[in-house]
Amino acid sequence: MLLDAQAAHWFNTPMADAPSAPMPVVRFETHPSRYQHIKLSFDGPVARLALDVVEDKPLRPGYVLKQNSYDLGVDIELADAVQRLRFEHPEVRAVVVTSAQPKIFCAGANIYMLGSSTHAFKVNFCKYTNETRLSLEEACGESGQHYIAALNGVAAGGGYELALACEHIVLCDDGSSAVSFPETPLLAVLPGTGGLTRLVDKRKVRRDLADVFSTLAEGVRGKRARDWRLVDEVSPKSKFDETVLARAKAFVDATPEKKGPGVALPALEPKRWEDGGRTGADYRYVSIGINKAERLAEITILGPEGTPPASADALRKLGAEAWHLRMSRELDDALVDLRFNQPEVGLVLLRTRGDGAAVRAWDEALLSLAKDDWFAKEVLLQLKRTMKRLDLTAKSLFAIAEPESCFAGTLFEVALAADRTYAKSGETQAFVGLSSMNFGPLPMSNGLSRLATRFLAEPARVKELEGEKEFIDAEDALDKGLVTFAPDDIDWEDEVRIAIEERVSLSPDALTGMEANLRFAGPETVETKIFARLSAWQNWIFQRPNAVGDRGALTMYGRPERPEFDWRRT
C-alpha cells in the first residue's frame, strides 16, 4: 500500500469515479514469455527479479497500477517466477529482488483494486500473496536459493512485506528510500497480517518500535531502519549496487552447487467443460466437477501409472510428468481456481481412484531419492506446499473412500486434510494405506504431520501406526481413528447424501471460522499466526465500516474528505 497521505496524486482517478467491472475468470498459469510486470534476468548463479509494473495492465479494468503497486496479476507472475527458479534454474543460488522504476521499490497492494473488490476477493488475495511469500521463504531455507531485497526506493505496505519475505534486506540510504506499513493510519486495515507477524516473529523487532513503525505513515529511513531491525543494512546510493552484489556473492559462495540441469515446467492444459448446470476441468491426474446450484465440487485424483523411478536420472527423465509433481501442480491449480472463481462452492468432495500399492511404491522411491537429489527434493517440497494449500482452503472438505479409491500414502494425506472422511464398509469396502510420507515429510503449517495433529491427545498412536504395513479396511480404519465414519452397503448412500445436504445448508461464515480454528490444532508457528489472523482479524476488519463503509478510510482514499470512524473499541 502507499507511503503517505499525499500519495493520491499517484493515481489518475479517485476511487469513486473508477469504472466498475465484473471480476474476470482468473487463470493462475503463466510463463516468463508472458510476464507483463516482472523482468527476470540471469548472471550465472545470480538472478535478478525486477519489478516493473505496467500501469495500464491491471487484472481487470477500473484502476491503474501506479508506483509499482500490484494486484493479483502481478502476484501470479511473482509466484510463477519463484516456482520456475526452483525447478528450471538450479544454478541460481542468489536472487536479487529490486525495482526497475526510479525511487520506488513497491507501493504494495493497489488500493483502488482492493476498494473495488468483493470481500471474498480481498481475503483470498491476501492469502494467495502470503502463500507466495512462504514459497519464497522456503526457497531460502530449503532450496539453496537466497533472496536479497534491494530496496532502491520506497517499500510500503505489501512492498515491504515482500522485502520481509527475503532473507536479507539492503536499503538505499539516499534520503528518500524508506520502509513503511501505512495501512493502519491511512486505510484502517492491517498490512496483510503477514507483515506484522514477520516483523515481530521473523525479524524480532521490539514490540514498542513495531508499534511506532506500524502507525507512522511516512515510514522509516536510513540508519534508524537498520537500528530498529527493519532492514539488515543501509548503503549510500553511490555504493548500493556494489553492496547488493557483494551480498549476493557471499550467499553464492556459501551455498553448494546443484548437480544436473533444470527441469522445465510446461503448461498443464486442462480440458475445461460445461454440461448443463455443471462445469469442470480434466487434467491428467486430477479432475474437478462443479455444481453451482448445489454449491458442491468434486475433486478426483488418480494414482500413478507405471513403475516408479529407481534413480535420480530416471526421475529427471520423467521431469514434470513425474506423478507426484504433475499431480500436485494440477491439484494446486484446481484449488486456487476454486478459491477465486467459485466462491459459491461450500463443500468439496475429495475422491481418489487407482492402486494404493502403486502410490506407496512411488512414495518410497521419491523419499529415497530426495535424500541426495535436488530435483527429487523440490518435488517433495512442491507436494508439501500443495497439501498446505488444501489445508488453508476455505471450503468444507469431505474425503469419500470407496472400493476403487487409493487413499494411501501421499493420497491419504488428502483424506487427513479433510474435515471428515467417510469410508465404505460391508461386502465391497474401502481400504486405506500408510507410507513413510504420512510420518513427517509433508508437515502442516503447525510443523506437525497430519497424523500427529490428528492424534495430539495420543501421540503414541502415531508411533504404533508407523509399523502398519498392510492395507486397512474401513471398519479397522474407523477403530484406529483414521476415518470418521464407515457406513455399510445399506446405509452408505443415504449417510453420505444426508451429510452433504446438511453441510451445504449451514452458514458459510460460521463454517469458515469453525474450520480454520479446528485445522490449526497444535503448536503455533509463524505460518499459523499469519493464516489464523488472516482468517479472523483481517476478515473482520475488511467488513467493518471504519475501513469499507460509505465514509470508511479505504472507501474515502484519494478523496479530499476525511474518513469518519465509529470510535467504539470492540
Which residue is listed with cell 527479479? Answer: 49
Angstrom distance (rounded) from CA 270 to CA 268: 6
Q: Are residues 483 and 402 in contact, defined by beta-carbon separation less than 8 angstroms?
A: no
DSSP secondary structure, 156-195, as one string: ETHHHHHHHHSSEEEEEESSS-EEE--HHHHHSS-STTHH
Output the pLDDT for position 22. Answer: 60
Angstrom distance (rounded) from CA 15 to CA 233: 37
Output the pLDDT for position 435. Answer: 97
Tell me the angle at which helices 374-391 and 323-341 cross, rounded to the nearest 10 degrees.
30
Residue 511: CB atoms within 10 Å = 18
As for how many domains the chain has, the answer is 2
State the number of CA atoms in the 13 A half-sphere of 481 facing the CB. 15
User: 525 in a domain, yes or no?
Assistant: no
User: 535 in a domain, yes or no?
Assistant: no
Q: What is the CATH number of the domain that holds 15?
A: 3.90.226.10
> 359 and 300, same structural domain?
yes
Which structural domain range is residue 441 located in?
273-512
User: 48 in a domain, yes or no?
Assistant: yes
The alpha-helical segments, DSSP class H, found in 371-507 are 374-391, 410-417, 450-454, 459-466, 474-479, 492-504
Output the pLDDT for position 480. Answer: 97
Q: Are residues 171 and 234 in contact, defined by beta-carbon separation less than 8 angstroms?
A: yes
> 250 and 174, same structural domain?
yes
Instruction: Tell me the three state secondary structure of residue 398.
Output: strand
Output the pLDDT for position 539. Answer: 82
Output the pLDDT for position 277. Answer: 85
> 194 and 285, same structural domain?
no
Angstrom distance (rounded) from CA 105 to CA 442: 35
Output the pLDDT for position 1. Answer: 34
- The residue among 391, 370, 384, 482 whose CA lies nearest residue 433 is 482
User: 528 in a domain, yes or no?
Assistant: no
The secondary element (H helix, E strand) that includes residue 325 is helix 323-341
Strand 472-473 relative to strand 431-433, pairing: antiparallel
User: 520 in a domain, yes or no?
Assistant: no
User: 433 in a domain, yes or no?
Assistant: yes
> 69 and 20, same structural domain?
yes
**How confident is the prediction along the chain (570 residues), in pLDDT tens digits per residue?**
333 332 333 223 333 333 345 678 999 999 999 999 999 999 999 999 999 999 999 999 999 999 999 999 999 999 999 999 999 999 999 999 999 999 999 999 999 998 889 988 999 999 999 999 999 999 999 999 999 999 999 999 999 999 999 999 999 999 999 999 999 999 999 887 789 999 999 999 999 999 999 999 999 999 999 999 999 999 999 999 999 999 999 999 999 999 999 999 999 999 999 998 899 999 999 999 999 999 999 999 999 999 999 999 999 999 999 999 999 999 999 999 999 999 999 999 999 999 999 999 999 999 999 999 999 999 999 999 999 999 999 999 999 999 999 999 999 999 999 999 999 999 999 999 999 999 999 999 999 999 999 999 999 999 999 989 999 999 999 999 999 999 999 999 999 999 999 999 999 999 998 998 899 899 999 999 998 877 788 888 888 999 999 999 988 888 889 999 999 887
Cell of 238: 553511490
The secondary element (H helix, E strand) that includes residue 541 is helix 539-541
> 292 and 248, same structural domain?
no
User: 562 in a domain, yes or no?
Assistant: no
